[in-house]
Amino acid sequence: MDTDSPRLRMSILGIVIVSLFGTLFARLWYLQVMASEQFQEVAVANTERLVYEEAPRGRILDREGRVIVDNRTSLIIAVRPNELDDSGRRDEVLLRVAQELTAGGSPTKVAALERRLEDPQYDPLEPIPVAIDVPEELQVVIAEHPEDFPGVTVSREAVRAYPYGPVAAHIVGYVGRINETELEQKQGTLEAPKGYPKPYLPDASSGKTAVEQGMEDELRGTPGVKRVEVDAKGNVVRTALRPDGTPDETQPVPGNDIVLAMDLDVQRDAEEALREQLELVRGYPTDSGYAQGRAGSVVALDPRDGAVLALASYPTFDPSEFVNGISTARYEELTGGDPADNAFINRAIGGLYAPGSTFKLVTATAALRTGLLDEPPEGLGQTYGDNGVYVIANCTGNCERQNAGRKANGTVDLATSLQVSSDVYYYRIGDEFYARSDQFGDAMQSTARDYGFGAPTGIDLPGELGGVVPDAEWKRTLYESLPPDQQANGDPTWYPGDSINLSIGQGDMLATPLQLVNAYATFVARGEQHRPYVVWKVLAPGSESSTPGLGDAPIDPTTGGTTPGTTPDGTADGAATDETAALDPTASSSTTSTTLELDPVTGLPIEPEPPEPPGPEIDLSQATVLREVTPEVRYTFDLPGKAFNPIHEGLLDVARVGNVHVGTAAPAFGDFDTAAFPIISKTGTAQKNGRVDTALFVACGPDPRSTICLGTVIEESGYGGTVAAPVLRRILEPIAGQETTAGQRPQLAEGTD
């Protein structure tokens, strides 16, 4: 063939064409057959999104079903950055949004919106929330002028509401936006997911403290998930379908409701009594200086099963402040510079105090059950001449210990020693235990541990401390843990003075208020110790709550609206009315409703405040219980009659005036009818170097079948009988069905230790 023939040249062209088509086929084969799977994954990732809809959190109820923590709807303004940019009016629209927000009551700068939109934690294809809890009017403005707000959407979210106000803050805790650490803890990372069934979005809420945190897995609702197809601009086109043709979506399921063991009435009384007592005592002169009145706590347990009926800590906080995120400045204000002012410390479980004379329960128990107080010559005998001073034998240095105010109580037996709180009586026991440690071992310490001191009680709240029961080994270990240069100031040896200090709950002995109450509850239950519990039941979601509207609230004709628990917090005016009403409890209803006060400025009658309507409530008998706490006996020890009876007799007299002696809490209980509602109780006054004394008081009633044990600790404020006992009296009165003058308001009693 001629080399230049058209046929040859056509063949060359043909070969080129065939090879080009071969290339195309090969590439097509690669893309669609060999590598197709990976491209299919990319295509799905491109065009599908999972859209989550947060479910409301479960509610938190008191033991009667009253809804203490509820949900309400909050409006959220979100901006979709790419849609905003597409409109070409970004600056104008953001300015308009900022203006509307400012006009709506939340001053906002454009720069703040910009910062939010630039925040890398948000997906620029998804709406980014820029303002939450905006007023309803703003939604109307935006919904009616969509052309003015391209890319701006308003959505709804359930947020926490507190129908009964800021009550039980230290039990329920608060909710905040989840942070990265918590996210990782719950659902792992993208690389190592944990398969948490209730997935969180970066902006989701989670419980931060107390029950909200501890019960997070119950309270958190399961978000609804919808698989949607989006177009290239990120607009949702439609809901994707399952293979069977139904839309691929699940509805959000609200979280489970939590029923607390707490009784809202007791809790509110406890908080109010504590707060008012602290306010009253603040600045009063005491034997150890001016009372601080800054901090304190109250615990109430059911000694029969460990139910936590109330748990109050002061200073406290309002969980609703966290609903829209709390400002750093406000948070720091609540945290306080001084630990004494930190509102977030739950002092009832996280405050450590020397128990002072309340510890005499332990010392007495130890002395009686070991036989130390048996009749001589084996023991010391139960009676002792208390001349107000005790001198430690074989001792050098400061060897003299005394009662409060060197008060001589005369001849006292064990019961009386508790009633009058004789220190000298217990110094002798402490000294003897030290001397006869070969025979009795660390009887005080082991008894203290039997009562639950020195270890956490196991309450279902985060942040509980275990306290300290000091013994020789503890002291040596502490010394050895000191840095060498500080060991010169320490001392590894356990001295008689250490045992003596411990005998009256001083020295290095430290306990939480909860442990203290738990110990008395254990005593009441004859050595049976329950694990205190805050969460009683877990309910399936969906129980309807009755929510009587304002104004049509039924008023109980017998109590008016002023029974404790429904009384509005005392304002300046309200306090006066309360006092008047309190003079005649039965007339309280008519007093408040018929006596019209005159406004000092206008001279017109002031409308009396309407009684507070009852809040939402759930009928627990209709609710589905998913889980219920079974009362758990953590520990039992033998408390024989020979130990129980004398102590019981003494504690029963603490709030009474006897024939010979006056109980240390008797002045505080005044006309409280202890015959109708007998209580066992004990005062305590703990000394702290260079500080005002800490006042303590513990009480259980009605004896002999106590249904409640309470304890209160008032930091740096004076004698337990003076400062602490009146607090518990106020809480006990409605429980005992006694409404007396003194119980209606804070008071300082005459009592001492």
636 binds other proteins (CB under 8 A): no
236 binds other proteins (CB under 8 A): no
β-strand 236-239 against 224-230: which pairing, if any?
A: antiparallel
Interface map 46-75 toward other proteins (x if CB under 8 A): xx----------------------------
- What is d(CA 230, CA 251) in angstroms, rounded to the nearest whole number? 20
* Contacts of 86 by beta carbon, 8 Å cutoff, 6+ apart: 150, 151, 233
- What is d(CA 277, CA 722) in angstroms, rounded to the nearest whole number? 11
**Which residue in 7, 488, 493, 600 binds other proteins (CB under 8 A)?**
7
Residue 619's closest CA among 41, 61, 31, 46?
61
Closer by beta carbon to other proteins, 37 or else 191: 37
**Which residue in 1, 190, 192, 232 binds other proteins (CB under 8 A)?**
232
- What is d(CA 679, CA 550) in angstroms, rounded to the nearest whole number? 40
Closer by beta carbon to other proteins, 6 or else 377: 6
- What is d(CA 70, CA 616) in angstroms, rounded to the nearest whole number? 9
Helix axes 360-370, 423-435, angle to 10 degrees: 50
**Which residue in 17, 201, 575, 598 binds other proteins (CB under 8 A)?**
17
Closer by beta carbon to other proteins, 6 or else 600: 6
* Contacts of 435 by beta carbon, 8 Å cutoff, 6+ apart: 393, 496
- What is d(CA 516, CA 636) in angstroms, rounded to the nearest whole number? 17
**Which residue in 156, 233, 282, 642 binds other proteins (CB under 8 A)?**
233
Span near other proteins by CB under 8 A; candidates 7-15, 440-448, 517-525, 576-584: 7-15
Closer by beta carbon to other proteins, 24 or else 140: 24
**Which residue in 1, 4, 377, 398 binds other proteins (CB under 8 A)?**
4
Write down the least CB distance from residue 18 to other proteins, Å: 9
Backbone angles phi, psi at 588, to 5 degrees: -55, -40
- What is d(CA 515, CA 410) in angstroms, rounded to the nearest whole number? 32
Backbone angles phi, psi at 727, to 5 degrees: -65, -50
The torsion angle over the Cα atoms of residues 669, 670, 671 and 677, rounded to 10 degrees, is 30
**Which residue in 169, 175, 211, 230 binds other proteins (CB under 8 A)?**
230
Residue 490's closest CA among 500, 504, 477?
477
In the numeric block, the tokens 């044990």 are attached to 709
**Which residue in 50, 237, 575, 598 binds other proteins (CB under 8 A)?**
237
Closer by beta carbon to other proteins, 13 or else 482: 13
Write down the least CB distance from residue 329 to other proteins, Å: 42
- What is d(CA 235, CA 571) in angstroms, rounded to the nearest whole number? 54
15 binds other proteins (CB under 8 A): no
**Which residue in 1, 6, 245, 377 binds other proteins (CB under 8 A)?**
6
Question: What is the chain's alpha carbon radius of gyration, rounded to the nearest angstrom?
Answer: 34
Write down the least CB distance from residue 96 to other proteins, Å: 29
**Which residue in 133, 148, 229, 508 binds other proteins (CB under 8 A)?**
229
124 binds other proteins (CB under 8 A): no
Distance from chain centroid for Cα 18 = 80
- What is d(CA 524, CA 538) in angstroms, rounded to the nearest whole number? 29
- What is d(CA 179, CA 196) in angstroms, rounded to the nearest whole number? 16
Check if the beta carbon of residue 696 is closer than 8 Å to that of residue 686. yes
Write down the least CB distance from residue 49 to other proteins, Å: 11
21 binds other proteins (CB under 8 A): yes
Interface map 468-507 toward other proteins (x if CB under 8 A): ----------------------------------------
Closer by beta carbon to other proteins, 44 or else 626: 44
Closer by beta carbon to other proteins, 18 or else 626: 18
Residues 22-51 that bind other proteins (CB under 8 A): 23-25, 27-29, 31-33, 35-36, 38-40, 42-44, 46-47
Write down the least CB distance from residue 246 to other proteins, Å: 18
Write down the least CB distance from residue 223 to other proteins, Å: 25
**Which residue in 1, 12, 488, 550 binds other proteins (CB under 8 A)?**
12
* Contacts of 181 by beta carbon, 8 Å cutoff, 6+ apart: none
Closer by beta carbon to other proteins, 13 or else 111: 13
> What is the total count of residues that contact other proteins (CB under 8 A)?
38
201 binds other proteins (CB under 8 A): no
**What are residue 161's DSSP bridge partners?**
70
Write down the least CB distance from residue 225 to other proteins, Å: 19
Q: Please report which residue ranges of 453-549 form alpha helices under DSSP H.
A: 472-481, 496-503, 513-524
Q: How many CB atoms within 10 Å of residue 637?
A: 16
Binding site for other proteins (CB under 8 A): 4, 6-7, 9-10, 12-14, 16-17, 20-21, 23-25, 27-29, 31-33, 35-36, 38-40, 42-44, 46-47, 229-233, 237-238
